[in-house]
Structure 1
């Protein structure tokens, strides 16, 4: 029996909103006793020295595999490049070390962060190289830009029809290299150099290390299949058989569940049992994943009113009748349902389709909407009425809020974006997320943004929409456990729960404390220390 006694801790148990001083006794990965003082025996003792103990963060929506794989691509994030010339220089540097004919791929590209405030052109990419196919992945993951050699290899020509739900953009009738939305991007993705299974496993290991360092003890991969289709599932299957620390949940793209031979026709319970057996319970199946619109910052989120910058409101991806049929089919197999919805038109479509599932007898699984960026008050009320949970992409406020205010949504809608406040007030179960690698992975940063609602320029979007520190901490801990339906296992510091804990140097409930990853001193999973500040 392994035991650990944490002494002299300020405990924020996420049951009460006030820290209390005490000791925590852990046996075989479980919290067995909490008291003002516990006498030390033969167990290992850790003196918390007055630091603050909280339940480990539960990340309910990010893309671990993409995050890990992106580490090997050309870094085109706003932190690395400021303008088109910077992008060209970064790509040229990689081209010098890449054999002629091989692909050059970048990630983190965001035209709204560039000094030019526009997309890079196909001519500017061709100026880097026409001997190499070049493709740069947008930070949203919902579009990308290709040079002419890449389009040639993929076979996209002026006569290629746009796929349903996406399009190949044109300027004056000619392809300009911009591919919008997943159906268009997925035409190109199979031609990119595929990482080996070993490289994908290494990417997941790198992601796991970074997540744990930021206090995450349970994470959800938000779309197995988004990176490299069925190869994602093979990589995760191999990865979860290793001796990993991070607890993991898998959302699987519904196409994979329908089209992959190893998955086709399996019920939720059958596939869940298989995944848990392979991972010795460290990984489980979360849900079937759907996408019903795109991204606000590329004008592909489906709105009920035109964008502020264009006379267009985009459109939903899956026709309503088809979406309802898909939900009914997967619900019939017992799957919880998770759907990406940024724009209010998409959110309304999802709610309407989920409402049809309510008629199924004995179906009581989680129904979720992800992002909910422009949900209206009536939408949140409808979510409550139909027992729909949600996760808000509040990081958007800081990273893209200025552009949404000035360009994409205008002041009125930007002030109300990511309305977690309404969910809190109405009583809708919700969490917060970073959608990493769209924005950096850091629960404390996400909590800060939800509480401050400040953009990069310091503009506050919705003073009355702020969460309190305790509410935002709940969204990343106990609410995550409730959403995952694991509240009997984690999410609070309580007797009988898994000893998934973080210890912070300062009190995160103190408004004078700046929330950052620097506060994290220890991370424990099942009572074992897996991170210690150096």
Structure 2
């Protein structure tokens, strides 16, 4: 490939040795040089590309915690509280009452053959405080066809009576996670993985494995391209044989503009089998597909009341949440994967889950010392100061779910956490002061994939109502941009090849209309990404709407 030098109004490199430049040289999909045009003149014969001359170039954004489900779920009907845009750019209004939800489900049911299961996603019961959605609400739409409404947090679902009967859950109210009504009968709400997988098994549907299908990955990459994301994660992938083959083939295509990091779901396999699976897959890694990380799910979600909280528990007195496996097993999984030299990305929403996992990591390090392990706690939404000091001592990374501030901050302040704990939601500034490696993420499809919105959340810390939570934990825009580039790459052990624009790294770039540091803060989430560049290949985005 010939040498091409791109001119820009400004290049923000994320390289401390050369923070800004005006030109970047690309050859064979990698960065050959960064600087002024004069500084790059000695690289040899080249073509100067002026198409970005009035734009601002950043490293391609790195989404350190998302799911390929974002590409799969759009095959089903959206049922969320907030308005959302689908991969084709169509807007879906939010559903703010049960009647609106029923109307959308009824409309979708009319398009399906009789008996075909209806699946919807994105429903968020926390925004319906008067009562919980139950099987009777869904039976009123269609009592004969199986119906499944997956909640926004991906840790819960509500099903109708037909689905309960098909799965045999109408007779097994004693199973953990199968919620019941006052008479002790299943009410249709299912919490956490064991109960939900009973539904998926009945439907012969593995949504997480579907994340590896070609059409799903292509759709996932298309969504990412629109937002300047060049590296995506799939942080709960079973790494099935056909899934691995599909990811290898699909990621190799030039029309799929992304690098992908799938993390194997640890609880899918017996520990020995899982370790062997990850190690075998790691040998198959390519420039665009990186195997190696392992995902461990501990508790659930705070807004779903399934996260594990320390005393005093939930602010409104709801019972404590659920573990996705016995704590003893979770500790054993951490120790075994650590001993095998693998990196863990550990879901910890509640502070009790954080305590358990810090205990597990500390015991693993005592038994098998490992420098630079980069085990990363994911979400860790209300991690406290003592826990962060301990995380710093243990060399643990924190990837915080910043979007939570906007989507559920009001709920946490009023109902689940109260005043003081809501001020420490996503305490990124405190973690920064303690020298902890940090990143921020969106957890798509839980919230939309949009790194600039995530960056805005870490700076503005505004809820959907406009309230500010934890002003002392706010970051600067400059610091926030590093969270979604080089810092996220660090948590994925990929900072040697992505996350900044330096010689030798992949030529992955997000091309913006404006400099994020210079626009009004309110404009940051909606800055247009003019193009996304992956390995030197330019993927233009649609022009700005008039």
Label 1:191 to 1:329 Cα distance change in 2 as closer, same or farther (>3 A): same
The equivalent position to 1:463 in structure 2, one of 459, 464, 471, is 471
The equivalent position to 1:515 in structure 2, one of 518, 521, 524, is 524
Label 1:9 to 1:330 Cα distance change in 2 as closer, same or farther (>3 A): same
Structure 1 CA distance for aligned equivalents of residues 75 and 229 of structure 2: 23
The equivalent position to 1:162 in structure 2, one of 169, 175, 182, is 175
How does the TM-score come out when normalised to structure 2? 0.90
Structure 2 CA distance for aligned equivalents of residues 33 and 334 of structure 1: 34
Q: Does 1:281 align with 2:287?
A: yes
Partner SS state of residue 463, structure 2: coil
Equivalent position of 1:35 in the other structure:
35
The equivalent position to 2:297 in structure 1, one of 269, 291, 297, is 291
The equivalent position to 1:271 in structure 2, one of 260, 266, 281, is 281
Equivalent position of 1:351 in the other structure:
358
Structure 2 CA distance for aligned equivalents of residues 207 and 497 of structure 1: 23
Equivalent position of 1:173 in the other structure:
184
How does the TM-score come out when normalised to structure 1? 0.91
Equivalent position of 1:488 in the other structure:
496
Which runs of no fewer than 5 residues in structure 1 stay unpaired?
none
Map residues 308-387 of structure 1 onto 2, 5 A cutoff.
308-361=315-368, 363-364=370-371, 365-387=373-395
Label 1:532 to 1:74 Cα distance change in 2 as closer, same or farther (>3 A): closer
How far apart are 1:488 and its partner, in Å? 2.1
How far apart are 1:46 and its partner, in Å? 2.7
Equivalent position of 1:249 in the other structure:
261
Deviates more, 1:314-323 or 1:489-498: 314-323
Structure 2 CA distance for aligned equivalents of residues 332 and 350 of structure 1: 15
Q: Would you say how many aligned residue pairs link Structure 1 and Structure 2? A: 522
Counterpart contact for 2:349–2:380, Cα < 8 Å: yes
Partner SS state of residue 324, structure 1: helix
Counterpart contact for 1:57–1:217, Cα < 8 Å: yes
Equivalent position of 1:113 in the other structure:
127
Label 1:424 to 1:282 Cα distance change in 2 as closer, same or farther (>3 A): same
Map residues 337-486 of structure 1 onto 2, 5 A cutoff.
337-361=344-368, 363-364=370-371, 365-486=373-494
How far apart are 1:359 and its partner, in Å? 2.4
Structure 2 CA distance for aligned equivalents of residues 197 and 307 of structure 1: 35
Structure 2 CA distance for aligned equivalents of residues 256 and 381 of structure 1: 32
How far apart are 1:484 and its partner, in Å? 1.9
Equivalent position of 2:91 in the other structure:
none
Spell out, residue by residue over 1:15-42, the C-alpha distance to the aligned partner (whole angstroms, 9 max, x if none): 3499645221111122222232245954
Structure 2 CA distance for aligned equivalents of residues 191 and 117 of structure 1: 31
Structure 2 CA distance for aligned equivalents of residues 407 and 254 of structure 1: 32
Counterpart contact for 2:278–2:292, Cα < 8 Å: no
Which runs of no fewer than 5 residues in structure 2 stay unpaired?
84-93
Structure 1 vs Structure 2 CA RMSD: 2.5
Deviates more, 1:395-404 or 1:475-484: 475-484
Structure 2 CA distance for aligned equivalents of residues 256 and 315 of structure 1: 18
Label 1:242 to 1:499 Cα distance change in 2 as closer, same or farther (>3 A): closer
Spell out, residue by residue over 1:335-384, the C-alpha distance to the aligned partner (whole angstroms, 9 max, x if none): 21111000000001010001111124463432111001111111111111
Equivalent position of 2:87 in the other structure:
none
Structure 1 CA distance for aligned equivalents of residues 343 and 56 of structure 2: 35
